[in-house]
Amino acid sequence: MYSDLAEYYDAVYSGKKDYRKESDRIVGLARRNGRSGGREWLDVACGTGQHIRYLSPRFRCTGVDASPQMLRIARRRNPGVRFVRGDMRSFRLRRQFDVVSCLFSAIGHVNTLSALRRTIECFVRHLKPGGVVLIEPWLTRKTFFAGRVHLLTVDTPDLKIARATYSMVHGSQSILRMHYLIAERGRGVRHTAIREVSGLFDHSTTLRLLRNAGLQARFLRRGFLPDRGLFVGVRPVVPPNRPAPSRSRR
């Protein structure tokens, strides 16, 4: 989807998501939880830059994504914002931010436990002391069901899309078989099949990895989509186990 079908991403999802409302909520969470005091925001797996569109009037934003096709759309949408091609497991910007976000379950694409650990450590390396990490996770073994079917449609005068999905589970991974049928005025009709593999991690596992990486972390049940929730992690200003030096009383 993020390469060959990137040009249809917004048509498929934007009617189903309120990016403005989500951005307002994450700004509130970042302001309430953050202690670093700055305005540098890093959106990892930023996709077509829909959140950055609403964040950039309030924060100096940078976007990272693995897909050049998604980044091309993000750049067009957000002139003046810096976008970098990078893998969320290993990118290195050599800078730290007040907020690092990873939204719409993009972190699910990291589909092994060791890769999830490296990804979280990578986020924390890019976070200032007192900074906030916001992660919207993918589903878990308890909330993802094999054998389900789903149909999503886009029906505009010039573009018709039908996406039929079948869900499977293999070990600790979800597999979505998605068949897209796309008809576009002047361009004909095409069919593309996609197999999307994502990691199914319990919230307790993700929380443990966030805490092991040095964050004070919690899970909020109320996120943006049913059953997903949101992780909020704060990098302590004084690292744990290293108490601030006490002033000697003389």
Ligand X SMILES: C[S@@+](CC[C@H](N)C(=O)[O-])C[C@H]1O[C@@H](n2cnc3c(N)ncnc32)[C@H](O)[C@@H]1O
Segment interacting with ligand X, rule: CB under 6 A, options 25-33, 42-50, 183-191, 198-206: 42-50
- Cβ atoms of 36 and 129 within 8 Å: the answer is yes
Q: Is 47 in the site for ligand X (CB under 6 A)?
A: yes
Distances (CA, A) of 87 to 115, 118, 177: 11, 11, 24
Minimal distance, residue 230 CB to ligand X, in Å: 13
Minimal distance, residue 66 CB to ligand X, in Å: 4
Give the contacts of 203 (CB within 8 A, at least 6 positions apart): 137, 140, 219, 229, 231
Q: Is 88 in the site for ligand X (CB under 6 A)?
A: yes
Minimal distance, residue 55 CB to ligand X, in Å: 11
Nearer Cβ to ligand X (35/125): 125
Q: Is 134 in the site for ligand X (CB under 6 A)?
A: no
Minimal distance, residue 14 CB to ligand X, in Å: 9
Q: Is 2 in the site for ligand X (CB under 6 A)?
A: yes
Q: Is 104 in the site for ligand X (CB under 6 A)?
A: yes
Give the contacts of 173 (CB within 8 A, at least 6 positions apart): 111, 197, 198, 199, 200
| Residue sitting closest to ligand X (CB) | 47
